Amino acid sequence: MDVKIEESWKKALAPLFERPYFTQITAHLKTEKALKRTIFPEGSMIFNAFNQTPYHQVKVVILGQDPYHQPGQAMGLSFSVKAGCKIPPSLVNMYKELNKDIGMPIPTTGDLTHWAKQGVLLLNSVLTVRADEPASHSKIGWTAFTDDVIKLLSNEKSDLVFILWGNFASQKQILIDATKHKILKAAHPSPLSAYNGFFGCKHFSTTNQYLTQVKKDPIDWSI
């Protein structure tokens, strides 16, 4: 795989690109391409989370699971969809919580690039998916790669906010040094679970309170 990735990340992740799991990921994606299978997001967007949020600028990590699997949605940022797409249900609920938490008007776009450019790493645990087949690339090596990304951030940085929604994301807590970072956990914003603890979690205001406390600029959550 020809990895087009922002320079500070390219340097930080260089050892990970040499690991066997990355060879496995590359081989799998080449096979999918040879079989003419449609993969989301398109190649230039696979590492979009890293390209929009340089390594030295990361302040917050919002962990998702895998990309949207319908045409035109996935853009390499967790929970985000391309401008013009219908806003997915989980993101609708995130916007509802933002409205209740900080009074933010409900946005009309699902493109979260504005967050990414301020230091919010919108990281999916799995970075690709086959069209119409959710979780189809969950076993090809991506989780090992992104687990190592989380460990790298935890080890090399301090005073980050890790936002873990739902059981899948919460399991990643063991990768994070809680003595150095703020970990926020709640139910997933999906309509299936949002009323079990996501609504009312106040993670957006809590994040900004913490960032202010550690002398970092808060996030402008407006879209």
Q: Which residues are identified as catalytic? A: 66
> Could you count the other beta carbons within 10 Å of the beta carbon of residue 120?
27
Spatial CB neighbours of 48, under 8 Å, sequence gap ≥ 6: 41, 75, 76, 77
Spatial CB neighbours of 50, under 8 Å, sequence gap ≥ 6: 5, 6, 9, 13, 121
Both tokens assigned to 4 = 């087009």
Q: Where are the beta strands (DSSP E) in the chain?
A: 39-40, 60-64, 120-124, 129-130, 161-165, 182-186
> Could you count the other beta carbons within 10 Å of the beta carbon of residue 24?
16
Q: Are 201 and 193 in contact (CB under 8 A)?
A: no
Q: d(Cα 96, Cα 33) in Å, to the nearest integer? A: 39
User: Is 7 buried (19+), middle (13-18) or exposed (0-12) by CB count in 10 A?
Assistant: exposed
User: Is 142 buried (19+), middle (13-18) or exposed (0-12) by CB count in 10 A?
Assistant: buried
Rg (CA), the chain: 17
